[in-house]
Structure 1
Amino acid sequence: MTSMLSGLALGLSLIVAIGAQNVFVLRQGLRREHVLPIVLVCALSDAILICVGVAGLGFLVERAPWLLVVARWAGAAFLIAYGLLAARRAWRPSGDALHADPHGQADAAPPTAGGATTTAARTRLAPTLLTVLALTWLNPHVYLDTVLTLGSIAATHGAARWVFAAGAILASIAWFSALGFGARYLGRWLRTPRSWRILDAGIAVVMVGLGISLVLPVLA
């Protein structure tokens, strides 16, 4: 029980933070769009990484630092590109969320009163899942935190290391479920196109900032 609680606490401490993956899950939860598949992908990805770390393969990443370099640059490029797309949505909403009227003004098709988007505004499942997979697996911090950190600490629990891993996996499932399905209760504050533009502006700042922060140590 002690090992499981330790894994639960450490798992929560590592994932409960503002990050690209959490921001994306929150936005999809607010839109009520493909929430269950996204939560499952995030939780399953974490479970795989945790098991890899506990199994001892984290030492491979430690001995081949070039893997993190590749992940760092690929992740930075993806985050900045995603951030620029969010900035474009905030600056000039178009496409699935807005429709231009004959006078050139943007006529919003925002989420419904409960926060859900209309059918026309929904994005396809496959691109959404590819995005969340990229945000998860192209993030070098996930290998440092989930694989190396959790794997190293799990090793100190000896025979109970897999119980520790179970606690960390449980933390991941609980967090992503709360973030994805709990976001709908924020819908009352996001009923207007303007509020969604502000949200997208915040997402753009976070994504671009995270992308730059990944490569700053290399450029410094």
Structure 2
Amino acid sequence: MLPSAIAGLGLGLSLIIAIGAQNLFVLRQGVRREYALTVAAVCAVSDAILIVLGVSGLGLVLHTAPWAIDVVRWAGALFLAGYAVLAARRAMRPTGSALTVVAETATATTAAAVILTCLALTWLNPHVYLDTVFLLGSVASTHGDARWWFAAGAVVASFLWFFGLALGARWLGGWLATPRAWRILDGVIAVVMLALAVSLVLPR
């Protein structure tokens, strides 16, 4: 049981620790100190749901309907491209009044808007399905009766990573307290998001 849980933890961390739409959004909200823990919770709980679905066998069902992944792939590409445009607009603003680090009590963006964006970045990202539902589900099936221990390890990995990223990002506030630094960060986010969008629609 314990070896399966450790295996799930290791694989979960190896899949989730990468530059992606989710991580960039959590990082940005963490640095801004704007609903960072809420975003981390949404990402971690979403991952947990997808992991459970994958281990329960949904991955095998979806494998017989590849069109579903294509729909999510194109929807995700459009959303990421739109988010890239918004980030690029923030990066090109002549003033930085909207880019300074906000206090925890500030409401520069509504909680509903942040949560909806986070949900879209998670559930419209086909890589999330490939990693959690298909890959983790497939590997978990090799652990037999201990597959749920494997799933538990992967879920713990998601919670550790997202909450660690959200809390750790706050330490970057000192370096990102100037409008110029925020414009650079948003520029990087725009480039990465656009690259991810393009990668989703390229022929495989």
Give yes or no for contact 1:110–1:117 (8 Å, CA) kept in 2.
no
Give the gaps of 5 or more residues in structure 2: none
List aligned pairs for 1:76-91, cutoff 5 A. 76-91=77-92
The equivalent residue for 1:103 is: none
In the alignment, is residue 108 of structure 1 matched against residue 97 of structure 2?
yes
How far does residue 107 in structure 1 lie from its aligned partner after superposition? 6.1
Alignment match of 1:134 (pick from 120, 144, 149): 120
How well do the aligned residues superpose, as a CA RMSD in angstroms? 1.5
**Whole-Å Cα distance in 2 between the matches of residues 79 and 9 of structure 1?**
28
Distance 1:207 1:109, change over 3 A: closer
Distance 1:171 1:118, change over 3 A: closer
How far does residue 217 in structure 1 lie from its aligned partner after superposition? 1.7
Distance 1:119 1:36, change over 3 A: closer
Residues 86-118 of structure 1 show CA distances to partners (whole Å, capped at 9, x for unaligned) of 00010115xxxxxxxxxxxx362553xxx5447
The percentage of aligned residue pairs carrying the same residue is: 63
The equivalent residue for 1:5 is: 6
How far does residue 119 in structure 1 lie from its aligned partner after superposition? 5.5
- Please give the TM-score of this superposition, normalised by the length of structure 1: 0.89
SS at match of 2:202: helix
SS at match of 1:24: helix
Distance 1:121 1:91, change over 3 A: farther
List aligned pairs for 1:52-63, cutoff 5 A. 52-63=53-64
How far does residue 191 in structure 1 lie from its aligned partner after superposition? 1.0
In the alignment, is residue 30 of structure 1 matched against residue 24 of structure 2?
no
The equivalent residue for 1:207 is: 193
How far does residue 35 in structure 1 lie from its aligned partner after superposition? 1.1
- Please give the TM-score of this superposition, normalised by the length of structure 2: 0.95
Give yes or no for contact 1:20–1:135 (8 Å, CA) kept in 2.
yes
Displacement over 2 Å in runs of 4+: 106-111, 115-121
Residues 112-161 of structure 1 show CA distances to partners (whole Å, capped at 9, x for unaligned) of xxx54475662000011000000000001111110010000000100100
Distance 1:92 1:202, change over 3 A: same
Residues 177-202 of structure 1 show CA distances to partners (whole Å, capped at 9, x for unaligned) of 11111100011111100100000000
SS at match of 1:205: helix
In the alignment, is residue 146 of structure 1 matched against residue 154 of structure 2?
no
**Whole-Å Cα distance in 1 between the matches of residues 107 and 88 of structure 2?**
18
List aligned pairs for 1:40-189, cutoff 5 A. 40-92=41-93, 106=95, 108=97, 110-111=99-100, 115-117=101-103, 122-189=108-175
Residue identity matched to 1:156: T
How far does residue 172 in structure 1 lie from its aligned partner after superposition? 0.2
**Whole-Å Cα distance in 2 between the matches of residues 21 and 144 of structure 1?**
15
Larger radius of gyration: 1
Alignment match of 1:196 (pick from 174, 182, 188): 182
Residue identity matched to 1:108: S
